[in-house]
Structure 1
Amino acid sequence: MPAPDAPLTGAPSPGPARPSRLDPAIAAKLRRTPDGLVAAVVRAHDTGEVLMVAWMDDEALHRTLTTGRATYWSRSRGEYWVKGATSGNHQYVRSVALDCDGDALLVSVEQVGAACHTGQRTCFFTDLPVSSPEETP
């Protein structure tokens, strides 16, 4: 198995792990994990702020594209979830883009309330120390 950050090679991965109504032309462009998922990076439409990362399978992407509500696949619960259905912190989808390798989605949303399950606006609120290399002349 390649390293997590190694580029993928070859054709897009085989079809979805679960049945889906996703347009076959879109499905053909996806490179899925072995369990049929694609990473979804979610950002605020108005500011570009990265809010969270979640997972979509083909059906979650289909539901997101056709309803305008961010829908994800929960790996821990093994079910679909619409962001905000229980928390009230909804995500209204403004655009979805597929990256050049087909293995990640960029979902731009209008975020209502917190995006993170901790109550924070973004899931990325813990800064880590970075040592900068000396500048080279």
Structure 2
Amino acid sequence: MTQPSIFGGDAGKRGLEEGASFTPRFGPDGLIVCVVRAAEDGEILMVAYMNEEALRLTLETGQAHYWSRSRREIWRKGATSGQTQTVADIRVDCDQDALLLAIEAGGDGGACHTGRRSCFYRRLSQDRAGPRLTFVE
């Protein structure tokens, strides 16, 4: 049995963009994109997705929960890695279909499953040979 939504219903364009009602717009797949940055310096750490339950759990606990598209299940960040994420701030974009989380990282301070602080550790460059990735660490 599905729990009723704790979020507002259809607020209309003006309500979405200018109103105070939190009415997240989940996509057809039931997910909303979530950009995650470090609270202390603003560095982008990762991009993840939340479904309604993951967002509800995040709001209830103050710990980041996400929807794993590959495993098709909710996971609390750090449950196995120790790289917990305590939510310091949540922002929503203009049409409420994307979230921006500022987090305080626990464990070793990393966010990436590779053990790095950020998932964005490679830069795309292009030359005559074509596109290639270089490490920025």
Return the TM-score normalized by structure 2: 0.76
**1:113-124 counterparts in 2 under 5 A?**
113=108, 114-124=110-120
Residue 78 of structure 1 deviates from its aligned partner by 1.0
Contact 1:22 1:61 in 2 (8 A): no
Q: Which residue of 2 aligns with 1:65?
A: 59
Q: Which residue of 2 aligns with 1:25?
A: 8
Q: Which runs of 5+ in 1 are unaligned?
A: 1-17, 132-137
Contact 2:7 2:24 in 1 (8 A): no
Report the CA distance shift for 1:60/1:20 in structure 2 as closer, same or farther (over 3 A): farther
Report % sequence identity: 51
Return the TM-score normalized by structure 1: 0.76
Residue 20 of structure 1 deviates from its aligned partner by 4.5
What SS does structure 2 have at the residue aligned with 1:100?
A: coil
Aligned length: 114
Q: Which residue of 2 aligns with 1:107?
A: 101
2:28 is matched by which residue type in structure 1?
P
**Segments ≥4 residues shifted beyond 4 Å:** none
Higher fraction of strand? 2
* Equivalent position to 1:44, from 19, 38, 41: 38
Q: Which residue of 2 aligns with 1:88?
A: 82
Contact 1:22 1:59 in 2 (8 A): no
Q: What is the root-mean-square deviation of aligned Cα atoms in Å?
A: 2.1
